[in-house]
Amino acid sequence: MKKKKILITGAAGDVGTHLRRELQAKYKIVASDLRDLGETFKGQSFKRADISKMPAALRITKGVDAIVHLGGYSVEGPWQGILNANIIGCYNIFEAARLNGVKRILFPTSNHAVGFYERGTTIDHRVYPKPDSRYGVSKVFGEALGSLYADKYGMQVFCMRIGNVNPVPIDKRRLSILFTPRDLAQLVTIGIEHPDVRFEIVYGISKNTRAWYDNSNAFRLGYQPKDDSEQWAAEVLANEKPGDQAAELYQGGMFCVAEDIPNPAPLPERKKRM
Ligand code: 15L
């Protein structure tokens, strides 16, 4: 069978790189980013693009079977940057897809779209949004846009509220929201392949014992995550430093209190053990 052609925007980032690696055998991948790709994989093409400009969005979305739209800020940022990359850029990708006849979009939204729910609460895909940052607001915008394009234009939109993509959990909060690269690849594959996707919200996490999410909507669509962060819990908790009290209360952690959030990198010594 002919391989599907998948556009990944924001392909140079951590999540994009994991995805390009994990899905290289399965799909014909067109990688797009404003930046150089960094790590590259055989057989994948690269299209540099600034998606805040509609002509660029039109150019890269042409002729693909599905889009995984990772492009934009992946952490809290200044309003102007969020506006250009995450609001205008997101609109451009959906609209360009519609104009180019691309039916399916996977939108990796974020746990920060619902980050102001308390840690003691279990939430499912039907709760109303509670963003914890400008970044979180931009993800709620993307989910709303996806809903509009599904209902009004018949697009198939798969929103994944992603936790933290990493081979291992890097702190206590991430024990609840770890999303390993192989579980990410499985959920994205479901988003690309499932015949009944119309508009869905699922949580992008592994089968973590400490999860705050009722992910039954993902399970209903066939998701069977393989990893559980619990195997690293003792080590993670032993290394945990006391955090900001307000941040500790909410699922979104520091996003709930800070203005700038650095992108968390996996701890090198833990990464090596995988
Ligand atoms: C996110 O949405 C970010 O994209 C990622 O960089 C992490 O900060 C993650 O959330 C998290 O909450 O750990």
Q: What is the pLDDT of residues 122-132, one digit of tens each?
A: 999 999 999 99
User: Does the annotation count 135 as an active-site position?
Assistant: yes
Q: What is the pLDDT of residue 146?
A: 98
Whose CA is closest to atom 9 on ligand 1?
164
* Sequence-distant (≥ 6) Cβ neighbours of residue 234 within 8 angstroms: none
Which residue ranges have their beta carbon within 6 Å of ligand 1?
74-75, 110-112, 164, 174, 263-264
200 falls within a domain: yes
Q: The whole model's pTM is what?
A: 0.94
Residue 268 pLDDT > 70: no
264 falls within a domain: no
24 falls within a domain: yes
Residue 262 pLDDT > 90: no
Tell me the per-residue pLDDT of 8-27, one tens digit each, with 9 for 90 and over.
Answer: 999 999 999 999 999 999 99
The mean pLDDT of 132-155, rounded to a whole number, is: 98
270 falls within a domain: no
Which of 17, 139, 164, 168 should be mutated for ligand 1, with most atoms under 8 A from CB? 164
Ramachandran area for residue 124 (φ above 0: left; ψ -120 to 50: alpha; else beta) = beta
Residue 94 near residue 146, CB atoms below 8 Å: yes
The CATH number linked to 227 is: 3.40.50.720
269 falls within a domain: no
Cα of 102 from ligand 1 centre, angstroms: 28
Whose CA is closest to atom 4 on ligand 1?
74
**Torsion 82-111-203-176 (CA) sign:** positive
Tell me the per-residue pLDDT of 179-196, one tens digit each, with 9 for 90 and over.
Answer: 999 999 999 999 999 999
164 falls within a domain: yes
Cα of 41 from ligand 1 centre, angstroms: 24
How far apart are the C-alpha atoms of 72 and 58, rounded to whole Å? 16
- pLDDT class of 48 with cuts at 50, 70, 90: very high
273 falls within a domain: no
Amino acid at the residue 25: A
* Ligand 1 atom closest to Cα of residue 74: 4
Average model confidence (pLDDT) across the chain? 94
The mean pLDDT of 243-252, rounded to a whole number, is: 90
Tell me the per-residue pLDDT of 198-219, one tens digit each, with 9 for 90 and over.
Answer: 999 999 999 999 999 999 999 9
**Torsion 224-230-232-233 (CA) sign:** positive
Residues pairing with 30 in the sheet = 7, 45
Catalytic position from the list 73, 91, 135, 250: 135
Residue 199 near residue 217, CB atoms below 8 Å: no
DSSP string, 165-224: E-SS--SHHHHHHEE-HHHHHHHHHHHHH-TT-SEEEEEE----TT--B--HHHHHTT--
How far apart are the C-alpha atoms of 233 and 249, rounded to whole Å? 19
Cα of 3 from ligand 1 centre, angstroms: 31
Tell me the per-residue pLDDT of 157-176, one tens digit each, with 9 for 90 and over.
Answer: 999 999 999 999 999 999 99
DSSP 232: G
What is the token pair recorded at 128? 């109303």
Number of domains comprising the chain: 1
Whose CA is closest to atom 7 on ligand 1?
164
* Ligand 1 atom closest to Cα of residue 263: 6
DSSP string, 38-79: SS--TT-EEEE--TTSHHHHHHHHTT-SEEEE--S-SS---H
41 falls within a domain: yes
Which of 17, 73, 74 should be mutated for ligand 1, with most atoms under 8 A from CB? 74
The mean pLDDT of 53-69, rounded to a whole number, is: 98
Query: Which percentage of the chain shows pLDDT scores above 70?
Result: 95
How far apart are the C-alpha atoms of 87 and 83, rounded to whole Å? 5
Structural domain boundaries, residue 153: 5-256
